[in-house]
């Protein structure tokens, strides 16, 4: 394989994953280039979060490879997996801040767990991370005292605490007001460029994602239905991709959940 | 019809066995490797406080009242036979052998067990456990292990405190109120209570109960369906399952210790 410069940080090859009887991904492949913001879009319920958990090794695929640097995540043992996870981090939809610690301690948590740095240096690191998300003044607050947007920014500060190579965002824009949405959009882009990260953003907020992503994958029906730069995608010929990007209620993805014939069902009620 | 019932029975049995399997895996994960007492001591101290110290009040008050009731009931029966001086051993033996370990375990399941389940279930629902895992910190060691140790260490201590307070409660009613001779109360107790047979067996019982209750509480929380309904069900299950398990184990242990 030609692995020189263009080698992606995360390379998913022929991934198949199912939950019980239900197949989530069928022979899917995608690459995440170093230093870029790559977005995964798709309708709700197609397992976008599942994909992040697969990359993080919290779930194991039925088949396929998930290469992170030179390691195939599903084959790693516990120790190696935990080592690999130190190089990646994930921003959960809920933020997943530890509710029994202050914002400061939350951000300090991964540093304290994985390093033996003296407390003064930890303090400096935490303040720098908090400053970069604009929450240095909120360091003594408890997570319950933060607004949704602030909680997500605090979680973001924690996610970059150990300067990971890869950061995965799970629906970072969901449930945010326009201002904090704008803040998070800007943060994802600026942190990616300033820290030299590789970012994966899972979202179905088309406009926000298209505005910051370098590359976009649209996933539906267990596979990638379209990919390319935002400009390329807007020109994409697939009706499914277009339905999704334009937010049309009906199209290849039907508005109605699968049901019996309407007229017939109404008549049954009568009888 | 019968086939359906049979199928349900089979499914329930399989589910139970799988539950045991998951609980064992959780336990193995939590206890695997060297416990990091040195680095993690603040976590342990906190859990000892939450699980142990905060349970003290209910244990002390319950112990006091159960000791007082025992003395009152015991006295009415014993005095019919003119055997009031045996009140001390009656109270002490009942508490040491049975009531101390069992009632403490039941109260512990209700007070600390349910809290552990709800806390861990909610941590799961808010993705805190997942988040921890993604930060390369094992939640089994970081969250489960300190709580497990706290439960296993604290409950026998709580049972001893319960028993001691109960004996004082018995003294309060028997000696101070009903007029049993104080010297008789203590000396008969001293003569009739055997350290190994009674005190040690009580501690062993209590340690077993502590393990059973704590593991059930932690497992139910860790295994909870991460919704509000799931957590509420898990909390209820903790109290019910732990209480029944304690009573079941009590019978078996009593049969082994005192049955022969």
- Write the pLDDT tens digit of every residue in A37-59: 999 988 777 788 888 989 988 88
The structure tokens listed for A107 are 């951000």
Does B34 score more than 70 pLDDT? no
**Cβ distance of A113 and B134 shorter than 8 Å:** no
The structure tokens listed for A251 are 């199209």
Look at residue A270 in the predicted model and tell me its pLDDT.
59
Does A8 score more than 50 pLDDT? yes
Cβ contact A204:A43 at 8 Å: yes
Put simply, whether B126 touches A (Cβ < 8 Å) is yes
Cβ contact B116:B26 at 8 Å: no
Question: Domain map of chain B by residue range?
Answer: 40-258
Look at residue A218 in the predicted model and tell me its pLDDT.
87
Does B130 score more than 80 pLDDT? yes
Put simply, whether A264 touches B (Cβ < 8 Å) is no
**Structure-model confidence comparison of residues A75 and A221, the more confident one:** A75
Beta bridge partners of A25: A17
**Cβ distance of B126 and A110 shorter than 8 Å:** no
Look at residue A1 in the predicted model and tell me its pLDDT.
42
User: DSSP character for A257?
Assistant: P
Residues 6+ apart with CB under 8 A from A51: A25, A40, A202, A219
Put simply, whether A109 touches B (Cβ < 8 Å) is yes
Closest residue to A113, CB basis, from B127, B133, B137:
B137
User: What is the number of other CB atoms lying within 10 angstroms of the CB of residue B54?
Assistant: 14
CA A50 – CA A54 distance, rounded (Å): 6
CA A156 – CA A186 distance, rounded (Å): 13
**Cβ distance of A98 and B128 shorter than 8 Å:** yes
CA distance, residue B37 to nearest chain A CA (Å): 14
Best CA proximity match to B110, nearest among B235, B248, B249: B235
Look at residue B169 in the predicted model and tell me its pLDDT.
95
pLDDT band of residue A179 (cuts 50, 70, 90) is confident
Q: What's the rounded mean pLDDT across residues A199-207?
A: 87
ipTM: 0.79
CA A177 – CA A148 distance, rounded (Å): 9
Closest residue to B126, CB basis, from A82, A83, A96:
A96
Residues 6+ apart with CB under 8 A from A244: A41, A42, A43, A206, A218, A220, A253
CA A188 – CA A173 distance, rounded (Å): 11
A251 three-state secondary structure: coil
CA distance, residue A134 to nearest chain B CA (Å): 22
Closest residue to A92, CB basis, from B130, B136, B138:
B130
Closest residue to B133, CB basis, from A58, A99, A109:
A58
pLDDT band of residue B172 (cuts 50, 70, 90) is very high
Q: B26-40: b or e for each residue (b if 16 or more CB lie within 10 Å)?
A: bbebbeeeebeeeeb
Q: What's the rounded mean pLDDT across residues B146-153?
A: 93
- Write the pLDDT tens digit of every residue in B73-123: 999 999 999 888 899 999 999 999 999 999 999 999 999 999 999 999 999
- Write the pLDDT tens digit of every residue in B188-227: 999 999 988 899 999 999 999 999 999 999 999 999 998 9
Q: How far is CA A10 from the centre of its chain?
A: 13
H/E stretch holding A233 reads helix A230-234
- A37-41 vs A198-203, strand pairing mode: parallel
Q: B126 to chain A: which residues are within 8 Å by CB?
A: 94, 96, 99
Q: What's the rounded mean pLDDT across residues A176-185?
A: 84
**Cβ distance of A82 and B138 shorter than 8 Å:** yes
């Amino acid at each position: 394989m030609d692995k020189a410069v263009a080698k992606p940080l995360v390379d998913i090859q022929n991934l198949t994953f199912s939950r019980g009887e239900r197949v989530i991904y069928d022979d899917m492949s995608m690459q995440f280039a170093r230093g870029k913001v790559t977005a995964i879009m798709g309708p709700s319920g197609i397992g976008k979060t599942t994909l992040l958990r697969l990359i993080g090794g919290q779930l194991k695929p039925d088949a396929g490879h998930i290469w992170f640097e030179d390691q195939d995540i599903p084959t790693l043992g516990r120790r190696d997996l935990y080592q690999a996870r130190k190089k990646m981090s994930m921003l959960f939809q809920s933020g997943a801040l530890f509710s029994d610690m202050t914002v400061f301690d939350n951000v300090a948590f991964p540093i304290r767990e994985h390093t033996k740095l003296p407390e003064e240096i930890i303090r400096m690191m935490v303040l720098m991370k908090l400053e970069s998300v604009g929450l240095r003044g909120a360091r003594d607050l408890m997570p319950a005292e933060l607004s949704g947007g602030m909680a997500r920014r605090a979680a973001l500060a924690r996610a970059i605490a150990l300067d990971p190579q890869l950061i995965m965002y799970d629906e970072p824009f969901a449930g945010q007001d326009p201002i904090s949405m704008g803040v998070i959009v800007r943060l994802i882009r600026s942190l990616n460029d300033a820290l030299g990260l590789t970012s994966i953003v899972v979202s179905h907020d088309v406009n926000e994602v298209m505005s910051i992503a370098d590359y976009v994958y649209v996933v539906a029906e267990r596979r990638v239905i379209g990919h390319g730069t935002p400009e390329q995608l807007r020109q994409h010929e697939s009706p499914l991709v277009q339905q999704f990007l334009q937010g049309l209620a009906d199209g290849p993805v039907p508005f109605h959940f699968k049901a019996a014939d309407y007229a017939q069902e109404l008549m049954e009620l009568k009888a | 019809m019968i086939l359906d019932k049979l199928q349900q029975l089979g499914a329930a049995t399989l589910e139970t066995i799988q539950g045991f399997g998951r609980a064992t895996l959780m336990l193995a994960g939590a206890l695997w490797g060297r416990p990091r007492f040195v680095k993690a001591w603040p976590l342990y101290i906190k859990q000892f406080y939450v699980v142990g110290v905060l349970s003290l009040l209910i244990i002390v008050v319950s112990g006091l009242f159960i000791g007082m009731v025992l003395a009152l009931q015991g006295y009415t029966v014993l005095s019919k036979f003119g055997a009031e001086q045996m009140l001390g051993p009656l109270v002490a033996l009942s508490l040491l052998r049975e009531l101390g370990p069992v009632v403490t375990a039941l109260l512990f399941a209700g007070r600390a067990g349910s809290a552990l389940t709800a806390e861990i279930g909610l941590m799961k629902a808010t993705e805190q456990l997942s988040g921890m895992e993604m930060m390369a910190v094992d939640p089994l060691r970081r969250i489960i292990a300190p709580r497990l140790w706290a439960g296993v260490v604290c409950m026998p201590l709580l049972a001893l405190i319960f028993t001691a307070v109960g004996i004082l409660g018995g003294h309060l009613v028997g000696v101070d109120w009903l007029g049993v001779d104080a010297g008789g109360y203590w000396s008969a107790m001293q003569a009739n209570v055997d350290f190994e047979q009674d005190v040690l067996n009580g501690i062993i019982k209590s340690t077993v109960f502590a393990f059973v209750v704590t593991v059930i509480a932690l497992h139910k929380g860790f295994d909870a369906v991460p919704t509000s309904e799931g957590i509420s069900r898990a909390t209820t299950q903790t109290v019910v399952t732990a209480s029944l398990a304690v009573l079941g184990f009590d019978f078996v242990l009593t049969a082994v210790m005192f049955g022969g």
